[in-house]
């Protein structure tokens, strides 16, 4: 199972070790297979926020996204990188 690209570094992570979180019915299932950068930055689970667009994020939200990137890097293996 592959999850969320975190736009900060463009990484795509293998989150399969956390199936209970990212599988169907899990609290973060909506992020699996999608670029959840915006939703993570906004600390949101709204479908409208599950988008790669970072255009109108505040500085605080960018900092939050960077914190998420660090958490993902520490916990999950990178399986791909988005170049653009």
Domain residues of the chain, as ranges? 2-81
* CATH tag, 2-81: 3.10.120.10
- Residue 47 is given by DSSP the state G
Does the reported pTM lie above 0.85?
A: no
Cα 45 to chain centroid distance, Å, stands at 11
d(CA 21, CA 15): 9
At 2 the pLDDT is 59
Residue-level pLDDT, tens digit, the chain, 84 residues: 556 666 667 888 999 899 899 889 999 999 888 888 899 999 999 999 998 888 999 999 999 999 998 999 999 999 888 876
> Residues 6 or more apart from 65 whose CB is under 8 A from it?
6, 7, 8, 37, 40, 41, 54, 57
């Amino acid at each position: 199972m592959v999850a969320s690209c975190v736009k900060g570094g463009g990484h795509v992570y293998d989150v399969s070790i956390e199936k209970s979180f990212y599988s169907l019915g899990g609290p973060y299932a909506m992020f699996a297979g999608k670029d959840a950068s915006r939703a993570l930055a906004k600390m949101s689970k709204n479908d409208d926020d599950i988008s790669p667009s970072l255009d109108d994020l505040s500085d605080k939200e960018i900092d939050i996204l960077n914190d998420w990137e660090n958490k993902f890097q520490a916990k999950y293996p990178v399986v791909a990188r988005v170049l653009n």
